[in-house]
């Protein structure tokens, strides 16, 4: 009996010892697995950090401030490191990041496409999104809905739109009567009750503007805003101040978006490539009360509350023109601060 008891105790000790060794092995393996996953997760986070930091860096660059520092190609953070390479080609950006933490390495490949934010479409050379609205065309001012290239050359039979588009037949009849033979398009005047109101875009345009003109009265001097390859946003009377009135007596040339509110007169030469928006309430925008040969190549949208007014006074030798141009409008969409990267591919 004593010998049997000894053997049982000995056997139990062996079993418990084996169980203990197994438990310790399991704990060690669990610890190793946990630490291995910890390293893996941190390496992955470092690779992702590299992508996000690179995008935030280039997002914060002011495109108009000249030469810019390059985004960092490597960095360390919280015990980990990363490296990143960028291959910008036209409107595509390819990024390859490698994150490292302890013994773990993780790689990411991302392809992004630079695209413009939503943009109010022009339903013709002039779109009137307010109703009722008043349009006055005098002198030799003309409105041409035929499609033109970005320099104002007619693209015969390609993408023609109406000269003026109104929201109802009553306004369209008034526009046709005012414009007469100076309205050209396919057709010269049209009705579209669902014209996009650009007022929904104005907060972002004001916040992103390259130039805000808040001072009324008479403003002289020649002005140039933006360029064909780097369009700009200019907002006149961004606060939509009641009774605001301003008169520009110098020549103004610009590319991009020109948004005006109130009583705004361009008495000098005006040449704008892109979109002109008349927003706010009680607009009386005299675009062509100019002495030169003013023209808008792109499109004009009149918005605001009922009773908005637009006046085209063609007193120059060529009378002044609004020429619809899908090319000029496409270029105006590519204002740097209104562009963003959309993910096309993401491999890990």
Average pLDDT for the chain: 84
Task: Give the Cα-Cα-Cα angle 194, 254, 186 (nearest 5 degrees).
Answer: 40
Query: Residue 169 has what pLDDT?
Result: 92
* Structural domain of 110: 40-59+69-116
Query: Residue 112 has what pLDDT?
Result: 93
Question: Do 184 and 140 share a domain, yes or no?
Answer: yes
Query: Residue 63 has what pLDDT?
Result: 43
Q: What is the pLDDT of residues 168-227, one digit of tens each?
A: 999 999 888 888 888 999 999 999 988 988 888 999 999 999 999 999 899 988 999 999
Question: Do 44 and 182 share a domain, yes or no?
Answer: no
Task: Kindly state whether residue 341 falls inside one of the protein's structural domains.
Answer: no
pLDDT at 85 over 80: yes
Mapped onto helix, strand or coil, the DSSP state of residue 114 is strand
Question: Do 112 and 133 share a domain, yes or no?
Answer: no
Assign 16 a pLDDT band (cuts: 50, 70, 90).
low
Judge whether 47 and 82 are in contact, CB under 8 Å: yes
Question: Do 307 and 197 share a domain, yes or no?
Answer: yes
Question: Do 144 and 261 share a domain, yes or no?
Answer: yes
pLDDT at 64 over 50: no
Task: Kindly state whether residue 155 falls inside one of the protein's structural domains.
Answer: yes
Question: Do 100 and 202 share a domain, yes or no?
Answer: no
Residue 93: CA count within 13 A, CB half-sphere: 17
Q: What is the pLDDT of residues 311-325, one digit of tens each?
A: 777 665 566 789 999
Using CA of residue 48, residue 51, residue 53, residue 56, what is the dihedral sign?
negative
Task: Kindly state whether residue 239 falls inside one of the protein's structural domains.
Answer: yes
What is the rounded distance in angstroms from the CA atom of residue 175 to the CA atom of residue 94?
50
Q: Give the helix/strand (H/E) hosting 184.
A: strand 183-184
Task: Kindly state whether residue 35 falls inside one of the protein's structural domains.
Answer: no
Q: How many domains does the chain have?
A: 2
Q: What is the pLDDT of residues 103-121, one digit of tens each?
A: 899 999 999 998 888 889 9
Lowest-pLDDT choice from 17-26, 42-51, 165-174: 17-26
pLDDT at 138 over 90: no
In whole angstroms, how large is the CA radius of gyration of the chain? 32
Task: Kindly state whether residue 305 falls inside one of the protein's structural domains.
Answer: yes
Question: Do 51 and 173 share a domain, yes or no?
Answer: no
Average pLDDT on 151-160 reads: 87
Lowest-pLDDT choice from 62-71, 76-85, 194-203: 62-71
Average pLDDT on 289-304 reads: 79
DSSP states along 328-347:
HHHHHHT-GGGEEEEEEEEE
Average pLDDT on 127-146 reads: 85
Task: Kindly state whether residue 135 falls inside one of the protein's structural domains.
Answer: yes
Question: Do 144 and 85 share a domain, yes or no?
Answer: no
Question: Do 315 and 171 share a domain, yes or no?
Answer: yes
pLDDT at 40 over 50: yes
Question: Do 174 and 287 share a domain, yes or no?
Answer: yes
Average pLDDT on 333-344 reads: 89
Query: Residue 67 has what pLDDT?
Result: 47
The sheet with strand 133-139 has its strands ordered as 133-139, 308-314, 284-286, 263-266, 245-248, 217-219
- % pLDDT > 90, the chain: 43
Strand partners, 132: none
Task: Kindly state whether residue 25 falls inside one of the protein's structural domains.
Answer: no
Task: Kindly state whether residue 166 falls inside one of the protein's structural domains.
Answer: yes
Question: Do 178 and 85 share a domain, yes or no?
Answer: no
Question: Do 138 and 96 share a domain, yes or no?
Answer: no
């Amino acid at each position: 009996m004593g010998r049997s008891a000894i053997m049982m105790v000995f056997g139990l000790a062996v079993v418990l010892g084996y169980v203990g060794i197994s438990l310790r092995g399991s704990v060690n393996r669990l610890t190793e697995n946990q630490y291995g996953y910890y390293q893996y997760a941190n390496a992955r986070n470092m690779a992702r950090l590299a992508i996000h930091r690179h995008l935030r860096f280039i997002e914060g660059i002011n495109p108009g401030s000249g030469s810019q520092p390059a985004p960092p190609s490597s960095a360390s953070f919280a015990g980990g490191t990363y490296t990143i390479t960028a291959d910008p080609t036209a409107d595509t950006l390819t990024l390859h990041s490698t994150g490292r933490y302890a013994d773990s390495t993780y790689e990411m490949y991302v392809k992004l496409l630079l695209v413009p934010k939503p943009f109010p479409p022009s339903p013709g050379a002039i779109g009137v999104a307010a109703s009722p609205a008043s349009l006055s065309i005098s002198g030799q001012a003309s409105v041409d809905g035929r499609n033109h290239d970005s320099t104002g050359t007619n693209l015969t039979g390609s993408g023609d739109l109406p000269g003026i588009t109104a929201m109802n037949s009553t306004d369209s009849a008034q526009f046709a009567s005012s414009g007469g033979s100076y309205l050209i398009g396919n057709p010269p005047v049209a009705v579209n009750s669902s014209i996009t109101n650009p007022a929904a875009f104005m907060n972002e345009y004001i916040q992103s503007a390259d130039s805000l003109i808040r001072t009324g009265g008479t403003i002289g001097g020649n002005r140039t805003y933006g360029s064909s390859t780097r369009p700009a946003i200019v907002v006149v009377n961004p606060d939509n101040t009641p009774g605001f009135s301003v008169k520009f007596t110098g020549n103004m040339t610009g590319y991009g978006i020109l948004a005006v509110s109130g009583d705004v007169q361009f008495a000098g030469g005006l040449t704008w490539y892109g979109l002109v928006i008349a927003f706010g309430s009680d607009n009386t925008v005299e675009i062509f009360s100019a002495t030169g040969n003013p023209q808008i190549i792109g499109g004009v949208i009149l918005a605001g509350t009922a009773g908005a007014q637009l006046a085209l006074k063609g007193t120059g030798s060529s009378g002044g023109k609004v020429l619809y141009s899908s090319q000029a409008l496409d270029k105006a969409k590519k204002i740097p601060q209104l562009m963003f990267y959309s993910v096309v591919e993401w491999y890990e």
